[in-house]
Structure formats: structure tokens, C-alpha cells
Amino acid sequence: MLSPRFLARAPEPIVALYAQLETEILLDMVARIGNVASAKEINPKRVYWDELSAFNKATASRIAQHLKISTPELIKTVNDAVLHSLRQDDRIYQAMAQSGALPKYVALRNSAVLDQTMQPTVQILARDFAARIAQTQAAASALLMQNISQVITAKEQAYFDFPRYMSKTIRKLGHLGITVVETDGRAMSMEAFTRREIITGINTAAAAASIDRAQEVGNDLVATSQHYGARPEHALWQGKVFSLSGTNPKYPDFKAGTGYGTITGLCGINCRHSFYPYFAGYSTKEPALDDARNAKMYELEQMQRNNERNIRTWKRINQMENAQKLDSTYSAGKVREWQARNRDLIASEPWLSRDYSREQIG
């Protein structure tokens, strides 16, 4: 089993790496828009060719460098998490074997699950993650081309205010960010995509290994973890016992009851729930969480995530303005404003704690 705190913390080093990549791409993009905006004479065809080709080359190099660093780290992070989860489960299995409740027990060091489950899942995750990140180059290039076209049009006007135009452009780009486009056409920031994919990948791989391990030692019952701030639909099944096979008349079916195997169910996208071995007559269930407090905590955490997003956005805007030697007083003030909002929210609610990693931009 993986705790909610473990799942929340595990991806942060890699998330920080891609937050940095997003900032680097935006700084490069703004510099090239600034080159066009400050030029006295413009040959549109030449500008498109020079700026876009140089940007594409630089962006491809940056993405390749980050993938070279992050891919081994991603594989190690997931493998370490799976092994940690299996070791947590094995403490329960060892105790049950010693009590006579688990006659088919196989020591974890001799388990076939380690080789059968971990490697294929992790390799697929790393491959798919790299492919999606690489696709951001085309989206970033299109965004730069759109903004170069807009600045060329704006400069044709009788009066062109460079600082005002660049400040407006930077704020627009800062709020938009470098996005990863989903298969359904929706876009999310590179940073948010990275965090989601790693949490989901870790949980998916660990869950598959845990189920294989349960089958190996002959265990059918599992209990889901629970935490305050769970999504309303997940709060319905957290902290309950289920039958993996669905054949135990005393306990509901695992997949049907939790939605395991679907993107919105247990161990699905961005889910911080896990599960652990349960033995009727031996295991002790955790006390049920208070529904009202869970709902309130969910609302508070959503507010905190919103504060953190705004802190990161305005920090990035401030950095781009400073790089262009523009007046960054307003953006610096917005950073302080959202930091103060976040501090006030956390100070007013003893259930919350500040997560500085979510306020950084790399």
C-alpha cells in the first residue's frame, strides 16, 4: 500500500524539472517576440523563418535534455514506489503466515511478481510520457507563430507602445503556459500533466503488483486506504473491505465497488488512494472518516491548489517581465498577494499545511 502522502510527494522532483522546462520555453518565446516587437524594420517571411527555426531547434534540445535526465529518474521513482508498496503489504503477509492464516505464503525476495509486473508497466509509462512531452514542441511553435503574427500586425499601427504590448503578451502567455494537449482536445500545463502522469503511473504499477502478489500468496480480501479531502465519488468506498475475486458473499466485489481499472476509479487518474491486505478475524479496520469533514477538506484543498497555481503563474510572469527589463511591480505584488491568501487560508484551517514545492517554478 502507498499512503496518500507518499503519492503526493513522490513526483515532486520530476515535476520541478518540467516546471523549469516550461519556464525556459516561455522565456525563450518571449525573447523572440520581443526581438520582433523592438525591430525597426521587419521582413515577415524572414522573421518567421529565423525565429521559428531557431526556437524549434532550441526547444527540441531542451526537451531532449530534460527527458534524458527525467526518464531514468521516472523509472527509478516508479520501481522504488512499487517495491515500497510490496514491502508494506509483506509485513501483513508475514504476520498472517506466522499466525497460520496464510498457508501459501511466499517470501517477497522469492516472489515472481517483482520481475513480471514492474518492468513492462514502467517501460510503457516512460515511453508514453516521453512521447507526450515531445509533442509540446509543435504546440509551443504554433503559439510562437501566432504571437509573432500578432506583433507584426500591431506594429503596422501608427502608434505602437512596446512596453505595454509586451506586458500584455507576457501576462497572456504566463496564464496560458506551455500545454500538453489531451486526446480529447483539452489542454493542461506541462507541470500539471507531469504530476498527474507520475502519480497515476506509480499507483497503477503498485496496484497491479499488489494484486498479483495477493494472488500469489492466496489472499482475496483488501481494504482501501482513506484520507480527508477525498473526491466525493471516492469517499463512497474509501476505508472499506472488498473481495478481489468478487466471490466472497460477505464483501462487495473489488472492481465493481471501487471502479478499479477505470480512469475515475481507485488508482485511476490522480487518485491518491491505495489498498492493502485484509484478513477477516485478524485485521482491524480503521475508524470511518467523518463525511462532513471530508467534504470540507476537499473544498479547502481545492482552494489551496488554486492559490498555488496563481502563485506559480505570477512568479513566471514576473520572471519574464524582468527578463525583458519591463516594469514588474504589478506582477511582484500579485505574487505577494496570492502568497498572503495562501498563508491566511492555511493559518485559518489546522487541517492544511503549506507545500512549498507547489509554489515553485523550477
pLDDT in tens, 179-188: 887 766 678 8
For 118-138, what is the mean pLDDT?
84
Q: pLDDT-derived band of residue 281, with 50, 70 and 90 as boundaries?
A: confident
Average pLDDT (196-207) is 91
CA gap 310, 240 in Å, rounded: 36
Is the model's pLDDT at 243 over the cut of 80? yes
Q: In which band, very low, low, confident or very high, does the pLDDT at 361 lie, cut at 50, 70 and 90?
A: confident
Query: Across residues 231-236, what is the average pLDDT?
Result: 92
Say what the pLDDT of residue 118 is.
60
Q: Over range 225-243, report the average pLDDT.
A: 93
pTM: 0.86
Q: Which residues pair with 276 in a beta bridge?
A: 223
CB 135 within 8 A of CB 180: yes
| % of residues, the chain, pLDDT over 70 | 97
31 versus 159: which is more confidently predicted?
31
Own/partner contacts of 175-182, CB < 8 Å, gap of 24 or more, are: 175/313, 175/317, 176/143, 177/22, 177/26, 177/313, 177/316, 178/21, 178/22, 178/25, 178/26, 178/136, 178/139, 178/140, 178/143, 179/136, 179/139, 180/132, 180/133, 180/135, 180/136, 180/139, 181/135, 181/139
What was the pLDDT predicted at 119?
A: 67
> What integer pLDDT is reported at residue 184 of this predicted model?
66
Task: Output the pLDDT for position 4.
Answer: 86
Mean pLDDT of the chain: 90
d(CA 354, CA 342): 8
Of 210, 204, 208, 203, nearest in space to 278 by CA = 210
pLDDT computed for residue 8 by the predictor: 85
Q: Is the pLDDT of residue 117 over 60?
A: no
Position 97 pLDDT exceeds 90: yes
Answer whether residue 113 shows pLDDT above 90.
Answer: no
Residue 242: the pLDDT is: 97
The whole-number pLDDT of residue 183 equals 64
Between 31-35, 214-218, 261-265, 285-289, the lowest mean confidence (pLDDT) is in: 285-289
Question: What average pLDDT does this structure show over 317-346?
Answer: 96
* Nearest Cα residue to 174 out of 49, 322, 53: 322
Band the pLDDT of 20: cuts 50, 70, 90.
very high
Contact 277, 96 (CB under 8 A): yes
**What average pLDDT score do residues 48-77 get?**
92
